[in-house]
Amino acid sequence: MKTYRGDRTIDGLIVTVDDRPLPLMTELTEFSKTGFEWSYEGPEPSQLAFAMLVDHLGDADAARRWTQRFMQAVVAHLDNEWEMTSEDIHAALTALASWPDESRGQ
């Protein structure tokens, strides 16, 4: 089980997975040129959501499909300091699966 952590420090934001820096994954999809952020909806939280999902799912295409919903439901509500496990991400994706799909106009 992986553990994802984020913290706002005097030196800036730190996001890790199993105590290693979480890559931005901008080579796969770039939502933001300025890196990660959380606690609101926008490009930087989308980049964090995408990077977490790519790492968790191991599939960039699947991560792209889930990014906006995961960002809106989870990343936008994270506190200054947070921790999530791979089990937490799985549970969030399971819950989000019941959301209407905006791309189909539902």
Span 47-72, pLDDT tens digits: 999 999 999 999 999 999 999 999 99
Helix intervals (H) in 1-106 = 43-57, 60-73, 86-96
Would you say the pTM of this structure is higher than 0.85?
Answer: yes
Decide if 36 contacts 49 (C-beta within 8 A).
no
**Residue ranges of domains in the chain:** 3-104
Mean pLDDT in residue range 7-30: 96
